[in-house]
Structures are given as structure tokens and as C-alpha cells.
């Protein structure tokens, strides 16, 4: 379809660019587990995996903005800003698991803090990364 001035390729190119920018969020599954036995940390793992399919996004969910250096990967941003991300994610859902065993001479207590694996929409900008929880 041509416009009156004959600039149909120009119009379609701009529409394609706008559509690409508006749907530019990548989706990642992120989970976390921290385990301590008798108050000693024994395991900590932050799992990050790129989603194969887009996750559904709700606009009323909170978002987190992290600073990003040029060409820095998402994994390195999360590694650097792990505490800030964990506080953000824990406000939405945090599970605690506790196992206790007692004998006459010994007591074992094992506690785990778990952020269940969840899909997050991640938008990359020049100097920041915006992470939005999805449902």
C-alpha cells in the first residue's frame, strides 16, 4: 500500500521499528536458594536461565531498575547487584524450610531460604536494566 506521497517503504520501516522496540523485553527464569546448617552457610545458588517462550506480563507488578555498564551481560549485572535483586524478589515471594533433628548428644538444624523460580521480563537500556516480575 502506498501513501499519497509514495513513501510506503518509509512508513512500514518505522512501524516495524516501533513494534520491535515496544516488545523488546527478554524473559528469564530466576531462582535462588540459600541453605545453612547449624548457622553455617553450606550452599547458595542463584539460577538464571533465558526463557524459551515469552511470559505473561501484568503491568501492576513492581519493577526494579539496576545500573548497567556498556555491553554488560544480564548475568554479570545480577551478580554485581545480587542483594538488591534478592530484596526485590523476596518482597513478592519467599519460602523458608526448616529441618531439626535432636539426639542426646547432638543437635542439627538446617534452614533454607528459597525464592521459587519465576519468570521476569528484562528490558535492556544503554545504562540500565529494568526487571519486572511476571505472573
pTM of the model: 0.73
- Are 24 and 17 within 8 A, CB to CB? no
In the 3-class helix/strand/coil scheme, how is 59-75 assigned residue by residue? CCCCEEEEECCCCCCHH
- What's the length of the chain? 135
List pLDDT tens digits, range 60-94: 678 999 999 888 899 999 999 999 999 999 998 99
Domain boundaries of the chain, sorted by first residue: 26-133
Please, how many CA atoms are within 13 Å of residue 101, restricted to the half-sphere of its CB?
A: 4
Using alpha carbons only, give the angle 56, 32, 80 rounded to the nearest 5 degrees.
95
Amino acid at each position: 500500500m502506498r501513501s499519497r506521497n509514495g513513501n510506503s517503504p518509509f512508513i512500514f520501516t518505522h512501524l516495524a521499528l516501533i513494534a520491535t522496540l515496544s516488545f523488546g523485553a527478554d524473559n528469564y527464569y530466576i531462582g535462588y536458594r540459600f541453605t545453612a546448617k547449624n548457622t553455617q552457610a553450606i550452599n547458595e545458588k542463584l539460577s538464571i536461565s533465558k526463557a524459551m517462550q515469552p511470559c505473561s506480563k501484568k503491568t501492576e507488578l513492581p519493577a526494579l531498575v539496576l545500573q548497567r555498564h556498556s555491553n554488560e551481560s544480564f548475568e554479570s549485572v545480577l551478580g554485581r547487584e545480587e542483594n538488591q535483586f534478592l530484596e526485590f524478589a523476596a518482597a513478592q515471594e519467599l519460602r523458608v524450610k526448616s529441618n531439626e533433628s535432636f539426639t542426646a548428644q547432638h543437635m542439627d538444624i538446617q534452614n533454607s531460604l528459597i525464592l521459587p523460580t519465576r519468570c521476569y521480563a528484562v528490558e535492556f537500556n544503554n545504562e540500565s536494566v529494568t526487571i519486572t516480575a511476571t505472573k
